[in-house]
Each structure stands twice: as structure tokens, then as C-alpha cells.
């Protein structure tokens, strides 16, 4: 345990498991947010001014203007795998390490991606709304007829850890033909394990019965799926986004769904979330969930504990577990 005289100060920006805050308190002086108050940018900057580290949740923008107000800051540890809230260039210039939480949510997120695919293809949400509204009075052979999942073609855009976990579920569990697009093809052994073959993006969109997006958000992945890409998809196809908001042009997707240019979509992430494009709320052929792909108690605890490991590792022992810009900081020093 770090001596009280030398304990760095840490900010936890949102409510978190009690055991996470307790473990941090064994090493640091901790300011937490147990009420889960919605601190704005100015409030976060004010609270960070005297802090050496922060446990962040992928929502807090850490950029040059904020860093200029936080001279003591040395590390921001996201408990998410995504880190598009970090301006890593600005953080490196300010001597601040960024970390994320890869690996621990891979299988849980892949499970949810497949759950969202199944719910979308088989019209689960649409049929439940119908039942709850009291509209189900008799059976009909065409009632809520959906798309086949087993034996169909799944196209995965973004073939990292999560994409590969989804591919294995699809190929080995459901006998699906898996095609994928990535910045570069996988090695032959990984392709064989996933039973997946590489296609260009346009070829994938034309071939797939179901398209699953698992790419990180960046300037280059902004609107990976827009009106032009939707026009390439089969009218019977479904689109699933468990990646990040902004990877899909939500306005273009809502229009394509309304005009039935694709059959359905399943979305766990949205542009400008938690705001959802209003047109998506008025079309029946979309399944909407509030960014919960990693939401199991065990996985969320593991994500938070990895962020804790990064804070303790860096501030107490001098080495983080999953650094994002350690090389840049080393060059800078």
C-alpha cells in the first residue's frame, strides 16, 4: 500500500462498483462520483486540476484545451476498449498516458453481436411490440417471416478480436459462410480458425445476407456505411452495428429502412449518443439497444479492474498494462 504522505490523487468520473473504488483507495486519494452526476466538461476539468490520474468511461473528451487546465495529470485510464474520446496526440504532447481495456470484453461483446443479429433477422422486437399491443389474435403462416441465419452469408467489417469471435460463432455454430473486410487480410491460420475469407468492402456488401460492423471509430471509418454502401446491399439484408456511433450514417440508414431498401437493422451505438436520430425511432424494422454489448456484471467488473490495474501499474510501479501512447511518451522523454 502506498504511504498516505505520497498518495497521488485520482478522479473516478462516473459511478462504479464499490470494490473498484475501494481498491483504488488502497493506493490513492480518490475522488469519486457515487451519485453518477452528469458532470459537464468544465466540471470535469475543474475536478481534474489537481489529479494525477483519472478512471474514465469513454465519454469524457480528453484533449488539448482540457489538458492545459490539468498540469498534474499523468494518466487517463478508459474502462472501455474504444478510446475515440482521447486525443492521443495532445495527450502525448502533454505527457499524459492513455490506456484502454481490450480483450476482457471480447467474448461478451461477440455474444451480444450475435444476439442482436438474431433479434434483427428474426424480427424479435417488432413481433414483441405487436404482441404487447394486443394485435395477435390468430396465427398466419407469413406472420413476421424473417431471414434465415443458419447457412446464410455473414459479412464482418472489422476483423479484430471481436470480429474473429463473431466469425467463429457464425461458422462453427450456425454453419454460416463468413466473409470479412479489414484494413489488411488476416494470416492464413487465423482465417482457417474463423472459416472466413477476405473480400473488398463493396464485394462484401453485395454478397452478404447479414453485415456486422465491428470497426473502431476514427476519421477514416466515419460513415463507413452511408447511402452509397446501403445501395449495394441486398433488399433482404440486415445491418448490425456494435462498433461505434458515426461508423453508420444514421439518417441514411433510417431512410433506407423506411423505403425497405434493406430488410432490417440492429443498432447498439448511435451518432451523438445518447441522442438517437428521431427517424430511427419511427421505423419498425430496426432493433435499438442503448450501448449494452459489454453489459454483463462480470465483464463490466473486469473492464473496470483493468483500468484500475493501469492506474496502479503506471502511478505506483511505473508501467501500465495496456498503454495506448507509451511509445510516443518514451520518444518525447
Active-site residue set: 244, 273, 291
Q: Alpha-carbon Rg of the chain, whole angstroms?
A: 22
What does DSSP say about strands 286-288 and 238-241: parallel, antiparallel, or unpaired? unpaired
The grid coordinates listed for 130 are: 405487436
Distance (Å, whole) CA 188 – CA 27: 45
Q: What is the distance of C-alpha 239 from the center of its chain?
A: 16
CA distances from 17 to 216, 255, 274 (A): 26, 40, 22
The dihedral sign for the CA sequence 129, 290, 111, 251:
positive
**What whole-number distance in Å separates Cα of residue 139 and Cα of residue 203?**
39
Assigned C-alpha cell, 175: 454453419
Kindly list the strands in the beta sheet with 29-31, ordered across the sheet, starting from the edge strand earlier in the chain. Answer: 29-31, 9-12, 53-56, 75-78, 97-99
Query: In 3-state terms, what secondary structure has residue 296?
Result: coil
Nearest to 54 by CA among 12, 93, 92: 12
Using alpha carbons only, what angle is made at residue 66 by residues 62 and 67, rounded to the nearest 5 degrees? 85
Say whether 113 sits in a helix, a strand or coil. Answer: helix
Residues paired with residue 198 on neighbouring β-strands, in sequence order: 180
Amino acid at each position: 500500500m502506498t504511504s498516505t504522505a505520497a498518495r497521488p490523487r485520482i478522479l473516478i468520473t462516473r459511478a462504479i462498483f464499490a470494490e473498484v473504488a475501494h481498491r483504488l483507495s488502497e493506493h490513492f486519494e480518490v475522488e469519486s462520483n457515487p451519485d453518477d452526476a452528469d458532470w459537464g466538461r468544465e466540471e470535469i476539468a475543474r475536478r481534474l486540476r489537481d489529479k494525477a490520474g483519472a478512471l474514465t468511461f469513454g465519454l469524457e473528451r480528453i484533449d488539448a484545451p482540457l489538458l492545459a487546465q490539468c498540469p498534474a495529470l499523468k494518466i487517463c485510464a478508459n474502462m472501455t476498449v474504444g478510446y475515440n474520446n482521447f486525443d492521443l496526440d495532445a495527450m502525448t504532447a502533454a505527457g499524459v498516458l492513455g490506456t484502454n481495456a481490450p480483450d476482457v470484453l471480447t467474448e461478451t461483446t461477440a455474444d451480444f453481436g450475435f444476439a442482436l443479429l438474431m433479434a434483427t433477422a428474426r424480427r424479435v422486437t417488432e413481433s414483441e411490440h405487436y404482441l404487447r399491443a394486443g394485435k395477435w389474435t390468430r396465427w398466419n403462416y407469413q406472420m413476421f417471416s424473417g431471414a434465415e441465419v443458419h447457412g446464410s452469408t455473414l459479412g464482418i467489417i472489422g476483423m479484430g478480436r471481436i470480429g474473429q469471435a463473431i466469425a467463429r460463432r457464425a461458422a462453427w455454430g450456425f454453419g454460416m459462410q463468413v466473409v470479412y473486410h479489414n484494413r489488411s487480410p488476416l494470416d492464413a491460420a487465423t482465417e482457417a480458425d474463423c472459416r472466413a475469407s477476405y473480400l473488398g468492402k463493396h464485394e462484401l456488401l453485395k454478397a452478404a445476407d447479414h453485415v456486422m460492423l465491428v470497426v473502431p471509430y476514427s476519421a477514416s471509418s466515419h460513415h463507413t456505411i452511408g447511402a452509397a454502401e446501403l445501395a449495394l446491399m441486398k433488399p433482404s439484408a440486415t445491418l448490425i452495428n456494435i462498433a461505434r456511433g458515426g461508423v453508420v450514417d444514421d439518417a441514411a440508414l433510417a431512410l433506407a429502412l423506411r423505403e425497405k431498401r434493406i430488410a432490417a437493422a440492429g443498432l447498439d451505438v448511435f451518432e451523438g449518443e445518447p441522442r438517437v436520430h428521431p427517424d430511427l425511432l419511427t421505423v419498425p424494422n430496426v432493433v435499438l439497444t442503448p450501448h449494452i454489448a459489454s453489459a454483463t456484471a462480470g465483464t463490466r467488473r473486469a473492464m473496470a479492474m483493468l483500468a484500475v490495474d493501469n492506474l496502479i501499474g503506471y502511478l505506483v510501479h511505473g508501467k501500465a498494462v495496456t498503454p495506448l501512447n507509451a511509445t510516443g511518451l518514451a520518444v518525447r522523454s
